[in-house]
A and B are shown apart, each in its own frame.
Chain A
Amino acid sequence: MNSFDQWALSLAVFIPVVGALVMMFAIPKEDEKSVKIAALVTSLAALAVGIYVMVKFNYDKSGTMQFAVDKPWINIIHSRFNIGIDGISLPMFMLSLVVVPLCIIYSWNHIPSPGNAKAFFILMLLLETGMAGTFVARDLILFFVFFEVVLLPMYFMIGVWGCYTRQYASTKFFLYTLFGSALMLLSFLALFFKGNATSFAMSDLAVAAHNIPHGTQLLIFGGLFIGFAVKVPMFPFHTWLPDAHTQAPTVGSVILAAVLLKLGTYGFIRIGIPILPEAAKSWAWFIGLLAVIGIIYGALGCLAQTDMKRLIAFSSVAHMGFVMLGISTLTPFGINAAIFGMVAHGLITGMLFFLAGSIKERFHTLEIKRLGGLLLQAPRMGWLLGLSAMASLGLPGLAGFWGEFPAILSAYSPAKGLTESTFRTFMVIAAVGTVLAAGYLLWLVQRVAFGQPKAEWEGHHFDDVLPTEWLAWAPFLIGILVLGVYPQFLFHITDGAVTDMLHTALGR
């Protein structure tokens, strides 16, 4: 490990903040061009470091922490600046580094009303730091801090650049998430104190948790559960999501869908299961239950929507249900599927939100009733919508399938100690969910893309996909296709890490 490797993760995490500071103090608001270039360069620099990490990553040892840094931070509370990356975090880390520059490119000519590119991009960069940091943090307090750093920029992004009821939506998002993280923090502290741990490092706590009586473990896991479940979001903590997604500006929705929702599921995998495996086992059926409720419930919610963006938002509830189902099985297979599902959902739903944003840009509405015949008005966009919908409903050969199907499969045979019959019931319900998914997504495509354009658009000209949009979307599309055709790309990275993690946690 050379000295640059020591710095690589920190660089990737903090370059955006530095860029944001430079933008804040050195570039005037009026100079939009410089602002955009600075933002793009910053995010690309972070991405470059990320790619370096990806290249240097030792895939044969994906289960061990690499690029690890462990420096004192807050001695007094035994919290350290402890970061590292393994096969579980690498995909999510890269996802967050990739999404931001693409969002910046997409926003190049689309700064949502009321403008102010400078503030917009600064927030986006801050967001990037929070997201990337969360995925590399190996210390619970550090994790918590990064987890929260994400909150404010997103709050403002929704609240300032959002649509009509943006204030309600942003406040709701904010309060919900904060409620969750308050519980999460309490659980972290309880872990530390009840376990008499020597530090907040995840590895230490996993050992220390053995000192905690089972009943307490259950309670602590409950706190963690709600904390993460809000972020995922799982039924019944999901109601912030449709509002936030619907009201957020396009790139806000994209980032929210692509990365933010993953913070919760990632938390389960990274913290919940390794540290409290026994409690996780006891809770698994409940998580699985809420997951399948979420699948069906999200789908039903989708069927009720009249707004395209809200529909996509509700679909997230359903999709994250699959992810949670995979996690709840506590098997390597299920958790691999969950991670795959996280990435796939990030790409696909991100793409769908991009499309929704572009449609909104052109039609100034997302009322499904008023849309129709998109394939005639902007054929390429229509096809992309079709493709994304197909990917979203889990068509094999596209990325969505590899998160969904293995998750269902894994529910047939959950980890030892979990009730098979319960999970098999979940499996069937989840499978029904796939049909509903097909239902609402195709219905969406049918109403939006097919048919004849409505009379009100007579004589209007609509641009098809613009160059900046192609640029921003291409990586998403490539990701959807490549991962769909060759899922091993991702499974290869995660498998070792997940197996190791579960082996340590559950001892199999």
Chain B
Amino acid sequence: MLALLPSMLGFIKPHIDYHALAPEIILTVAIVAVLVADLVFDERRKWATSTIAGLGVLGALVPVITLAANGADRVMFGGAYVVDNFALISKALFLIAGYVVILLSINYIGEGDYSEGEYHFLLLCSLLGMSVMGSSRDLITIFVALETLSIPAYMLAGWRKRDLKSNEASMKYYLLGVFASAVMLYGMSLLYGVTGSTVLSTIGAGITKGSFSQPIITLGILFVIVGFAFKVSAVPFHSWAPDTYEGAPTPITAFLSVASKAAGFVALTQLVYVGFCSRSDVYAPLFWILAALTMTVGNVVALRQTNIVRMLAYSSIAQAGYILVPFATLGQGKQDGRSALTSVITYLLVYAAMNLGAFAVIIAVSRKTRSGEISSFGGLFSYAPGLAVLMTVFLFSLAGIPPLGGWIAKFTVFRAVLDAGTGWSLVLGIIAAVNSVIALYYYASVAKEMWMKPVPDDDRTPIKVPASLSIALGITAVATIVIGIVPNFIVRFGELAHLTAGFGK
């Protein structure tokens, strides 16, 4: 108890492990550098900000790698901030996804007369928030990290200032985000009120069954999860996603659907594994409902979409549903949390690759067609076979067709389900299976459009793909295919990422 009361004993200089903080520090330096560059460079040389941002992100990856090589778990600030394998993997995921988003943005932003420097600045801020999120094991840190990654994103969603849709996207995202934060904060306050601490491991010890009045704990857990359910766009907290995705600049949509969502899941994982691990009686049913609803609604509504981005929005909602499935199996049957965590991490990694890839193709294609309609992809195969093949790869990977990466992700989900082996989890598994067939329909319909339909207006001028986009496509495509064929290493990441407290070990 005394250790928790530093104030009573006077100020004790906290131990700071700079190696552990290096990724964030490098990111911060990059943020400042981008700002300065934006001030210094004139309009013609603004592209340099993107280069700086990209380098910054890559630079931040270096300490992530050295930390991983070092291997030791680093715990700071009384357990509020931890750098372990899980944190490192999630940071690597955020940073690589962020890098790909920067690659996607270069031409999009550069050619669109948007504020380029500030754009990259905000993107990096958001990445910083995510990076912090990966290590947070404390409610306040999680909250701050969440807002840091969200608030720049609210603004980025409205970055196409003259487009009302973009404004609207920003507004909706912002309002819903604030609402969700409010609910989450209320839940956090309840948890704090019960346990007297914001550190997750302490909370975990304080909310075991029978320790306190149950309803308040239940409501606290529930509200906190709602806050992140919003972030991962789980139904019924998903409603912002389609509109925001459609209206936001496409690279930002990619960012939101991948990095931001992944951050949500990372936070959820930490909360559930470290904080709430003993209370699967509360969150497992909640995740069950969320997962079932999310998969079903996401897929079914996606069937009726005509706008490709909007369709992918619903698709990413549905994908979030699959990722929620392992959460619903936690603490059920023989599920010891190991395979569920592996599944979540694996899914996030694969999902990042394939979804970013799909958006990269959309960006490349819409550079020519200037349209977001699915029909604008008509006959793509005949004039841009490379893009069509890549898009096909990404879409069918999302659908989970072997040997593309998506299958191993889905596979680990099913494995988590069967590991639990209870009736409820099996039902969820079947819902997931049925959903993956429904999903196939709309993924296939895009493929159909590209391969089997005529070219609209018979405009067969080839598409020029800028270098940065090509790199992004290359990274994502290689990742998607290689993960599918040799899934060993990616699943190994998932397996490595044991969380020290709770289920792990």
Contact = CB atoms under 8 A, between A and B. Distances in A.
Interface of A: 29, 72-77, 114, 116, 119, 141, 144-149, 151-152, 155-156, 159-160, 166-167, 170-171, 174-175, 178-179, 182-183, 185-186, 189-190, 192-194
Contact of A182 (B342, B385, B436, B441): B436
A144 B417 CA distance: 18
17 contacts: A76-B494, A114-B382, A119-B385, A145-B403, A148-B402, A149-B402, A149-B403, A152-B392, A155-B447, A156-B447, A159-B447, A160-B451, A167-B452, A174-B440, A175-B441, A185-B433, A186-B433
B488 A74 contact: yes
A164 to B, nearest CB: 12
Nearest to A155: B444
Given A148-B403, A167-B448, A186 B440 contact: no
B287 interface: no
Interface in B364-420: 381-382, 385, 392, 396, 399, 401-403, 407-408, 411-412, 414-415, 417-419
Contacts of B430: 186
Nearest to B396: A152
Contacts of A29: 385
A112 B436 CA distance: 32
B436 A171 contact: no
Contacts of A167: 448, 452-453
B440 A190 contact: no
Interface string B433-457: 1101100110011011001110000
Given A76-B342, A76-B492, A77-B412, A193 B421 contact: yes
Contacts of B434: 182
A42 to B, nearest CB: 19
B414 A74 contact: no
B341 to A, nearest CB: 12
Contacts of A75: 488, 492
B498 to A, nearest CB: 13
A74 B408 contact: yes
B56 interface: no
Residue picked from A149, A171, A182, most chain B C-beta under 10 Å: A182
A77 B491 contact: yes
B429 A186 contact: yes
Interface string B121-138: 000000000000000000
B318 to A, nearest CB: 15
B488 A156 contact: no
A73 B485 CA distance: 9
Contacts of A114: 382
Contacts of B408: 74
Contacts of A155: 444, 447
Given A74-B408, A166-B452, A178-B437, A171 B403 contact: no
Contacts of B495: 76
Contacts of A151: 401
Given A148-B403, A182-B436, A74 B487 contact: yes
Given A160-B452, A178-B440, A193-B418, 16 more contacts: A74-B491, A77-B411, A114-B382, A141-B411, A144-B402, A147-B402, A156-B451, A159-B447, A170-B448, A171-B441, A171-B448, A174-B440, A185-B411, A190-B418, A193-B421, A194-B421
A193 to B, nearest CB: 4
A171 B402 contact: no
Given A186-B429, A189-B414, A72 B488 contact: yes
A171 B445 contact: yes
B198 to A, nearest CB: 34
B370 to A, nearest CB: 26
Nearest to A193: B418
A148 B401 contact: yes
Nearest to B488: A74
Nearest to B445: A171
Nearest 7 CB-CB pairings of A with B: A148-B402, A145-B402, A182-B433, A193-B418, A76-B491, A179-B437, A189-B418
A76 B434 CA distance: 26
Contacts of A194: 418, 421
A75 B430 CA distance: 26
Contacts of A141: 411
Nearest to A144: B402
B424 to A, nearest CB: 15
A159 B411 contact: no
Contacts of B451: 156, 159-160
A145 B401 CA distance: 8
Contact of B448 (A73, A159, A183): A159
A21 B403 CA distance: 15
A224 B419 CA distance: 19
Contacts of B417: 189
A159 B450 CA distance: 11
A212 to B, nearest CB: 12
B419 to A, nearest CB: 6
Contacts of A116: 382
Interface string B229-260: 00000000000000000000000000000000
A186 B416 CA distance: 12
A499 to B, nearest CB: 33
Nearest to A147: B402
B452 A159 contact: yes
A80 B445 CA distance: 34
A162 to B, nearest CB: 8
A148 B419 contact: no
B437 A175 contact: yes
B334 to A, nearest CB: 8
Contacts of A192: 418
Contacts of B418: 186, 189-190, 192-194
A156 B491 CA distance: 30
Given A148-B401, A151-B401, A160 B381 contact: yes
A171 B444 contact: yes
A144 B411 CA distance: 11
A126 B189 CA distance: 57
A178 B488 contact: no
Contacts of B402: 144-149
A179 B421 CA distance: 21
